[in-house]
Structure 1
Amino acid sequence: MQAVETLEEGDIVYALIDFYNDGSIEHLDEGALLASRGARGVIVRIGHVEHLPDKTVFLVRFEDKDNNLGDPVGCWADELGVTLAS
């Protein structure tokens, strides 16, 4: 099984938590559900937050119920799984 720390752009991941809009996606209401726990997503970018240079942030586009990819969501490694959590 692949470790989250070795993930690359294009890899498939699963949400281990519910993700809500913190206000950073302007066209959606703050608090809107972006991805439910268990949602499948694809990593579109990997980077670091300026004030946390040692912590990796993954931008993930999660699928909705119709399998359409949503807006990119910033996620920490411990919020993502490489297999569907039971």
Structure 2
Amino acid sequence: MMDLREPKFPWGLEVKATVDLYNDGSLPDIPEDMLLVVAGGPGEIVQVGHHSEANIPIYMVDFGVCVLGCLEEEIEPMRSAAPQEAAVA
């Protein structure tokens, strides 16, 4: 029995796409190869699954326009803005 590879990212994490994401045929009502999310598009991980044959985590990410299954290399955590310096009175 093989050990499951642990996911790098948790549920609820705000992420952004690292690459343009196209319909690979998994969304039947949308033309195949249509651009769905541009690189940098924001989303939130709503579920984490596992591809048993490849032993890799699959992330269901809600990008607002659709929910897509993504690999770790297709998403990254959203960088929070640097805290603003307090204004000097």
Range into which the TM-score falls when normalised by the shorter chain: 0.7 to 0.9
CA offsets per residue over residues 7-62 of structure 1, 9 Å max, x none?
2211100000000001110110001111100000011110112322x211101111
> Is the contact made by 2:43 and 2:61 (CA closer than 8 Å) also made in structure 1?
yes
The unaligned stretches of length 5 or more in structure 1 are 63-68
| Alignment of 1:48 onto 2:59 | no
Query: 1:70 is matched with which residue?
Result: 65
The size of the alignment, in residue pairs, is: 73
Counterpart in the other structure of 1:57: 58
TM-score using structure 1 length: 0.77
- Runs of 4+ residues deviating >6 angstroms: none
Matched, 1:33 2:39: no
Q: CA RMSD for the aligned pairs?
A: 1.5
Structure whose residues are more often strand by fraction: 1
State yes or no: 1:83 paired with 2:78. Answer: yes
Using structure 2 for the length normalisation, give the TM-score: 0.74
| Aligned sequence identity (%) | 32
